[in-house]
Structure 1
Amino acid sequence: MDNYTDEELSEALREVSKTISNCEKMQKKFAEGTAQYSLLRNRIKAMVISKLLIESELSQKNQMTEELGQVTKEELIEALRPVVSVISKCQKAQEKFAEGNAHYRRLENLIKAMKISKALIENRFTWLE
C-alpha cells in the first residue's frame, strides 16, 4: 500500500468531509426513492467509510476503530463504485479547464483525495480477507 504523509491525509480528510457536506445538502433537494437521491445516499455512505479510513490512518492505529470494525467487506466493495465514479467525473470535468485554473486545482485536490480513499478501501478489503 502507498504510504501517505499526514499532510496528504489531512487534505484528503478535508476534501472528503466537504464532499459529505455537499452531498447531504444536495440530497435534500431530491425526493426519496429517486435515482438522484439513491446516488447521493450511496456516495455519502462511501465518503463516510473513506473518512473513517483516513481518520484511522491519521491516528496511526493499526487496529480498527469500533465504527470501522462494523464496516463489512460488502460495504467496502459497494463504497468503491462511488469513489471510482467521482474520480472519473472529476477527471472528465478537469479537461474543460486549463492546468493551474482554480477549478482545475479544486478538481485535482478532490481526485487526489478519492485516489487515497480508493487505496485505503482496497487495502482494508484485503486486510479483512
Structure 2
Amino acid sequence: MEVEFMDDFTREDREEALRAIASMINRTEKAKEKFAQGISQHTLQMNRLKALHIASSLISKGLTKSDAVECYTEEDLKNALAPITSLISKSEKARVKLAQGTWQHTMLSNNLKALHIALPLLTKALHEVSQ
C-alpha cells in the first residue's frame, strides 16, 4: 500500500529527495572518517548514516511501490527519528544565516525538502510496525 502522504509530492520531488539524501549520506560518510571509532562524534555520524539510509529506503518505497518497512525493526525506525529531526533543526538554523541564491543555501533547502518528505514517512512506518 502506498503512503497517502506521497501523493502530496511529485515523482520528481521524490527523485530529487533521493539525490539530496544520497549527497547527505556521502558527506556524512566523509565526516565519519574524521573521528575515531568509539567517540561521540563518530557515533553521531553512524546514527545519522543509518537514519539517512532508512529515509532513502522509505522514499524509494513510494517510487517503486515496494514494502521497505519490512526491512526495519521498530527499534531501527525509532532510532532514526532523532537524527532526522536533528538534521532538520540544524539545517533550518544554518540556512537562515546564508544568503539566498548561494550554493550552500540551495543545498540546505534541497536537504530540508528531502528531510521533510522523509520524516512523515518514517513516522508512518513506525506506526505500521508498532501495530
TM-score by length of 1: 0.90
Q: Structure 1: 5+ residue runs without aligned partners?
A: none
Aligned residue type for 1:57: G
2: distance between equivalents of 1:117 and 1:30? 27
Deviation at 1:86, TM superposition (A): 0.6
- TM-score (norm. length: structure 2): 0.89
From 23, 37, 50, the counterpart of 2:42: 37
1:80: which partner in 2? 81
Q: Which residue of 1 aligns with 2:31?
A: 26
The amino acid of 1:89's aligned partner reads: K
Taking only the aligned residue pairs, the percentage that are identical comes to 35
Q: Which amino acid aligns with 1:7?
A: E
Structure 2 residue aligned with 1:120: 121
Structure with greater helix percent: 2
Structure 2's unaligned 5+ residue stretches are none
Q: Post-superposition shift, 1:16?
A: 0.8
- CA displacement at 1:127 relative to structure 2: 1.9
Q: Return the alpha-carbon distance in structure 1 between the equivalents of residues 95 and 53 of structure 2.
A: 24
Distance 1:86 1:103 in 2: 15
Aligned residue number for residue 69 of structure 1? 70
Secondary structure of 2:110's match? helix
Verify: 1:49 aligned to 2:54, yes or no.
yes
Shift of the alpha carbon at 1:85?
Answer: 0.5
8, 13, 35: which is aligned to 2:13? 8
Kindly report which structure 2 residues correspond to 1:86-97, keeping only aligned pairs within 5 A, or say none.
86-97=87-98
